Amino acid sequence: MATPIEHLEDCIGRHLADAGLLDEAKAKCAELVPANILGLVDAVLQSSSISYRDAILIQLAYREFITDFKIRPEGARSVAAKLGIFLAQNHIRAVKDAYQNIGKNTEVLVRGNDKAFDEFLTWASSEAVPSGALDAVFDYGCGYVAATSRPVSAFPTLDKGKLTFARVMLVLDELYKAGSQGAYEQFSIAALLDALVDQAGIPGLRVETKNLNASDKSSSAAGDIQIFSTGAGLVEAYEVTANDWEQKLAGVTQTIKAFDLQRINIIAKVGSDEAWRSTLKTLSKHPDDISVLDIRVFASSLVAALRKPGREVALRRLYECLDRFQPDTNKTNRYVAMLIDSGLV
């Protein structure tokens, strides 16, 4: 008997392979599921709160094992984490753990926060469900989710021997010139730092970045990029901007205190020698230890520190960040096109 995550991956995978299956699945739903219930399903699937979408699919993936769909099954959070990874890999909007967002400290899912979600799970748990209806809803839901997969170019196979300092920096320089509302800047630095940590092989050290449009406050982060160490916790924080770096000074003192940091780093375009001198004068008047680093200089230092295998890791990690942490597929596809045009593949 297949496990719930195997059911999910198999069903979504079939719909990804054949988009025409969605119409068949919806027609089957219309035959077996009352119109008002199908309306509830559509409301959840179309909601911007994708945690409820994923939770319904996971609950239905357990339909061979449970009868009360209002209660989170044992092991469901592990399934949610795996589903989030699977969806992200297939260029579908995803969350790390749907149940954590709905209510991580309770097994009760019907909590009055989403009317359509609550009413559907209540119906699914009743004796009024026609034979085969839950199978039909599950198939339709998987098809709907598969249809939201974004048309993202695949990451190309790189020629590792061509990943010289100059060739990699030419790609990054073109990205910085392209304009991306800060996406290329933030995720390239995160990717390079991640690759350097990987190359160093220091146990317990990890690099994390956040969604492009998420504020530090909403994501409970000290910066756009954070470096953590097992035992020591947060050890470095970086703010990365394509705009005027002085905008990042607001709240720096509070952030340093709140996260018990020694300093904070701002990565930006500094410009001319005169601008650099002005930057240092401004920082010298600030009470905190703030580094402002020109993004091209900082990126080139990281690329220089990386060997060719590490540069390959960084370029792939940049692709993964663009695909996962920002919604514009054109930015991801433009990056892939640049790699191809650069002759690095």
259: nearest Cα among 279, 232, 286, 283: 232
* CA dist., res. 210 & res. 215, Å (int): 9
- CB contact at 8 A, 121 and 301: no
Helix (H) or strand (E) holding 238: strand 233-240
Closest C-alpha to 121, from 102, 148, 94: 102
- Give me the count of residues in the chain: 345
| The pLDDT of residue 285 | 85
Which residues in 24-61 are b (16+ Cβ under 10 Å) and which e? Answer: ebbebbeebbeeebbebbbbbbeeebbbbbbbbbbbbb
- Say how far apart CA 108 and CA 304 lie, in whole Å: 52
Element containing residue 21 per DSSP (H, E): helix 21-32
Hey, CA dihedral for 336, 339, 343, 345, is it positive or negative?
Answer: negative
Q: One digit per residue, pLDDT tens: the chain, 345 residues?
A: 789 999 999 999 999 999 999 999 999 999 999 999 999 999 999 988 899 999 999 999 999 999 999 999 999 999 999 999 999 888 898 888 899 888 777 889 998 889 999 999 999 999 989 999 999 999 999 999 999 998 889 899 999 999 999 999 999 999 999 889 899 999 999 999 999 999 999 889 999 999 887 766 666 788 899 999 988 899 999 999 888 888 778 778 888 888 888 888 888 887 777 777 888 888 888 888 888 888 989 999 999 999 999 999 999 999 999 988 888 889 999 999 999 999 999
- Cβ neighbour number for residue 264 with a 10 Å cutoff: 22
Structure tokens at 225: 């990029």
Domains, the chain, ordered by start? 4-147 (no CATH), 160-341 (3.40.91)
Q: Residue 246: what pLDDT?
A: 81
| pLDDT value for 217 | 67
Q: How far apart are CA 9 and CA 90, in angstroms?
A: 11
* Residue 85 burial by Cβ neighbours in a 10 Å radius (0-12, 13-18, 19+): exposed
pTM of the model: 0.68
Give pLDDT, residue 216.
65
Question: Residue holding tokens 């601008």?
Answer: 275
CB 187 within 8 A of CB 321: yes
**Separation of first and last alpha carbons in the chain:** 42
Q: Residue 215, by phi and psi: left (phi above 0), alpha (psi -120 to 50) or beta? A: beta
